[in-house]
Amino acid sequence: MPDRPNLRIHFYGVQGSGSVFPSRAERQAAAEVSDHDLLAQVFADLKRHADAEGRISATVEEVLGGPVSRRTLLAYRRRFDVPEPRVYGGWTTCVRIETADGHDIVLDCGSGFRVCAKDIVAKWGNREDRELTILGSHSHYDHTEGFDQAAVCFDPRNRIRICAERSYLKALDQNLGIFSHHVDVNLKGVVTPLHYELMPAQFESLEIRDFTRKPPQGDSDSLANGYHPISEPLRIGATTIQPFEVFHPAPCLAYRFEHAGKVFVFCTDHELRRGDDPEHPLQRASLEAEARLRAHSMDADLLYRDGQFFQAEYDGEIGVSSTFGVSRLDWGHSCVEDVLDMATACRVKHTLIGHHDPNRDWSERNWIDETLRRKSEQEGLKFELARAETVYDL
Ligand SMILES: [Zn+2]
Ligand SMILES: [Zn+2]
């Protein structure tokens, strides 16, 4: 691992639709596994003190390496390696990238942004350079809900630049008024008690726009402080970021990051549509978006991609975990099987499948991840279920 990676990618939230944590029963099941692992190792250690008949002749102090105290107990515990239960999902979408040349870039402001912002504030301390770039995917609540809880928004020294498609900027502005300095009197305080007058950071917006399309009608010009054509890469220091449109019920952007030859592709909320009619306009739009995603993912080092369903769930043959089976056509999300095909065809070195379905049982998340890891060994490429609180260096 290099001292200073080109891109250090922190996953704070990878859960789809709403924040999900394991239930009490699921936590107890995970604790049982950990307890078993720990006790098996402790009893293997005790055997060292046993005679031929298995009788233990050592004192507690001899086993522990000193008198019983918090210090000796914890030191004894540290001798044994028990893996922590894995957190699949947790907070909704938020990913942070630290570049080798010192920039912080955040992707989406789901509920994971609250934790992410605390880390940024702690890292910045009192430093002078206090600019954060946020790249938004799309307007849905699970990609914006953490914004008004983020510590970084409440310090007047901070400059926060939000680059996104117009509906993402609008979703933030209509309740908070951070760009237009205006909130409709009927909306003020309705969705959140906060608004621009209570959020002292400096906010700036850059609308990523497809200039080949007709400009939207009726939106206030005060929403965007500037425009950026979707066909052109954004540049932040030595990192180039190519936005591109994917397929979802709301306009949605994915991003390809490149820094010193290392490539990370972030593609949340994208549906490879599986309708019956290949001529259906939505089917065509989805296939075009999938082709763009493939082109941008070719030989990528790391890909994060929506794989919310299995194909049988998408088709409605079965429900997610114990829920009733309904068709997921046009829900805006892809199937795990399609993600694996795509990542294999594009020779993506490491694929993280995220935007987990909120109804997916915890035990099933574990099982899927184990299955993906075994598949990784067969393919020579790496597949995993995305987990919160993980960090990858490129
Ligand atoms: Zn989403
Ligand atoms: Zn969405």
For residue 258, pLDDT over 90 is answered with yes
For 56-91, how does the pLDDT look when each residue is reduced to its tens digit (9 = 90+)? 989 999 999 999 999 999 999 999 999 888 888 899
322 pLDDT more than 90:
no
Residue 56 lies in a domain: no
Residues 163-187 have pLDDT tens digits of 999 999 999 999 999 999 999 999 8
Per the domain annotation, does 66 fall within a domain? Answer: no
> Which ligand ends up closest to the CA of 246?
2
Ligand nearest to the CA of 145: 1
Q: How many domains does the chain have?
A: 1
Task: Report the separation in Å between the CA atom of 269 and the middle of ligand 1, taken as the mean of its atom positions.
Answer: 5
**Ligand 1 centre and the CA of 304: distance in Å?**
13
- Give me ligand 2 centre to Cα 227, in Å: 23
Q: What is the pLDDT of residue 223?
A: 92
Q: How far is the CA of 248 from the centre of ligand 1 (A)?
A: 9
Cα–Cα–Cα angle for 17, 273, 365, rounded to 5 degrees: 45
How far, in Å, is the centroid of ligand 2 from the Cα of 142?
A: 7
| Ligand that lies nearest to the alpha carbon of residue 357, given by its number in the listed order | 1
Question: Can you give the pTM of this predicted structure?
Answer: 0.93
DSSP 137-199: ----GGGTTTGGG-GGGG-TT-EEEEEE-HHHHHHHHHHH-TTTS---TTTTTTS-S--GGG-
Q: Which of 223, 166, 233 is nearest to 196 (CA)?
A: 223
CATH label of the domain that carries residue 248: 3.60.15.10
Task: Please tell me the distance between residue 208's alpha carbon and the centre of ligand 1 in angstroms.
Answer: 19
pLDDT surpassing 80 at residue 379: no
Question: Considering only CA atoms, which of 296, 289, 229, 288 is closest in space to residue 258?
Answer: 296
If you measure from the C-alpha of residue 1 to the centroid of ligand 1, how many angstroms do you get, rounded to a whole number? 32
Element of type H or E holding 368? helix 362-379
Ligand lying nearest the CA atom of residue 139: 2
pLDDT band at 217 (very low <50, low <70, confident <90, very high): low
Q: E strands, 268-381, where? A: 302-306, 350-354
Lowest mean pLDDT among 54-58, 100-104, 121-125, 298-302: 54-58
Domain limits for position 133: 7-24+86-393
Q: Collect residues with CB below 5 Å from ion ligand 2.
A: 140, 269
Q: Does residue 64 lie within any of the structural domains?
A: no
**Ligand 2: centre distance to CA 170 (Å):** 15
What is the CA(51)–ligand 1 centre distance, in A? 60
- For residue 98, the CA-to-ligand 1 centroid distance in Å is 23
> Which ligand is the nearest neighbour of the Cα of 247?
2
CA–centroid distance, residue 352 to ligand 1 (Å):
15
Average pLDDT on 128-146 reads 97
Among all ligands shown, which has an atom nearest to the Cα of 252?
2
Lowest average pLDDT, out of 4-8, 20-24, 71-75, 308-312, goes to: 20-24
Q: How far is the CA of 172 from the centre of ligand 1 (A)?
A: 15
| φ, ψ at 60 (rounded to 5°) | -60, -40
| Residue 52 in domain | no
Ligand nearest to the CA of 18: 1
CA of 246 to the centre of ligand 1 (A): 13
Q: Are 254 and 165 in contact (CB under 8 A)?
A: no
Ligand with smallest separation from the Cα of 111: 1
Which of 40, 42, 27, 43 lies closest to 84, judged by CA?
27
What average pLDDT score do residues 378-390 get? Answer: 91
User: Taking the alpha carbons of 120, 303, 259, 139 in that order, is the dihedral positive or negative?
Assistant: negative
The answer to whether residue 378 scores a pLDDT higher than 80 is no
Is the Cβ–Cβ distance between 356 and 11 less than 8 Å? no
How large is the angle between the packed helices 336-345 and 281-297, nearest 10 degrees?
50
Q: How far is the CA of 199 from the centre of ligand 1 (A)?
A: 25
- Asked if residue 43 is part of any domain, the answer here is no
Which sign, positive or negative, has the C-alpha torsion 344, 346, 349, 350? negative
Report residue 216's pLDDT band, with 50, 70 and 90 as the boundaries: low
In a domain, residue 264? The reply is: yes
**Cα of 48 to ligand 2 centre, how many Å?**
56
Q: What is the pLDDT of residue 376?
A: 86
Residue 79 inside a domain? The answer is: no
Q: What is the pLDDT of residues 146-160, one digit of tens each?
A: 999 999 999 999 999
Q: Which ligand is nearest to the CA of 249?
A: 2
Structure tokens at 329: 């056509």
Report whether pLDDT(1) > 60. no
Whole-number Å distance, alpha carbon 127 to ligand 1 midpoint, is 34
Does 238 map to a domain?
Answer: yes
CA of 12 to the centre of ligand 1 (A): 14
Euclidean distance between CA atoms 289 and 271, whole angstroms: 9
What distance in Å separates the CA atoms of residue 113 and residue 107, rounded to the nearest whole number? 9
- How far away, in angstroms, is 272 Cα from ligand 1 center? 15
